[in-house]
Amino acid sequence: MRRDPIKSAARTLEILELFQEQRSPLRLTYIFEKLGYPQSSTTTLLKSMVVLGYLNYDRASRTYFPTPRVAALGDWVNHHLFGSGDLDRLVKSIFEQTNETVVISSQNDIFIQHLRIVQPSHPHKIAMTEGSMRVLPHSAAGLVLMSRMPGKAVDKLCRHINAYLGGTSDRIDIAQLQEQLTWVRREGYSLLAAFPFPNAAGIAMPLPAAPHGVQLTLGVGGLNSRIARHKSEIVAIMKAGVADYAESLRHYSVPEA
């Protein structure tokens, strides 16, 4: 069964995402028209966010803008997930060597979530958004993470995923998935083509355990024809990069509380 978010919570976050997209003060009219919300409930929500200190309201221009309190909510997360910054160097290095989209992902319940995305400027790429999610078996990164789980855990997770997907054609064939995971365990990386984008493909492999225990994956994606043509080269680049990253983690220690 699909789980719909609570409307007020979803709208609050969508408003903040709209500010992230526009990066400028916004008027009430623009916000409710852009997001398709009722004017009255949008007014109430914005006023609440002002009272709580997350939005600033300028009466002269009648515009809203996030306060530093919004930034402070998450300014610790990158360090918690990505440690000393070596992960940024890894992403940059893989991107420069492949000239394809590079993605850092992690598991979020039954989903894979793309935490960091760097995309090339050329037109031969796929459209991806940071923070976007899809169910684990529908992504190369998800297959990598599931390959590290015991068989019984995979079966249980797939039952939850199929319940979420309902009667759609995207339901998971568990026996077929287990065959895919066997291949991933043997090769040390996953390769998934044509899903969810018909002409796209992605390669993913696990990163060493992060300092705070969050399992991350490194992925490279792009048009199927480009990824297939350079697969061996991309895999070699990724493996070398992951090895260097693992070595860097040996010199990173978590500060004591």
Residues 236 and 222 grouped into a single domain:
yes
pLDDT, position 1: 47
Please, are residues 196 and 233 in contact by the beta-carbon 8 Å criterion? Answer: no
Residues 114 and 184 grouped into a single domain:
yes
Determine, yes or no, domain membership for 254: no
pLDDT, position 101: 95
Q: Which residues pair with 112 in a beta bridge?
A: 107, 134
Going from the first residue of the chain to its last (257 residues), give the mean pLDDT of each consecutive group of 10, the final group possibly shorter: 67 91 93 92 92 88 90 73 75 96 92 92 85 90 94 92 84 92 96 80 89 83 93 97 87 52
Which two structure tokens, joined as six digits, stand for 253? 């220690």
Residues 93 and 189 grouped into a single domain:
yes
Residues 86 and 22 grouped into a single domain:
no
pLDDT, position 85: 64
Predicted TM-score (pTM) of this structure: 0.75
Which two structure tokens, joined as six digits, stand for 239? 């493996």
Determine, yes or no, domain membership for 255: no
Determine, yes or no, domain membership for 185: yes
In terms of residue numbers, what domain contains 62?
Answer: 7-72
Q: What is the DSSP letter of 213?
A: S
Sheet holding 216-223, edge to edge: 133-135, 111-118, 101-108, 216-223, 200-206, 190-193
pLDDT, position 257: 43
Domain count, the chain: 2
Residues 107 and 212 grouped into a single domain:
yes
Which two structure tokens, joined as six digits, stand for 251? 């010199």
Radius of gyration, CA atoms only, the chain = 21
Residues 65 and 86 grouped into a single domain:
no
Which two structure tokens, joined as six digits, stand for 249? 């983690």
Largest CA distance in the chain: 64
Please, are residues 144 and 208 in contact by the beta-carbon 8 Å criterion? Answer: no
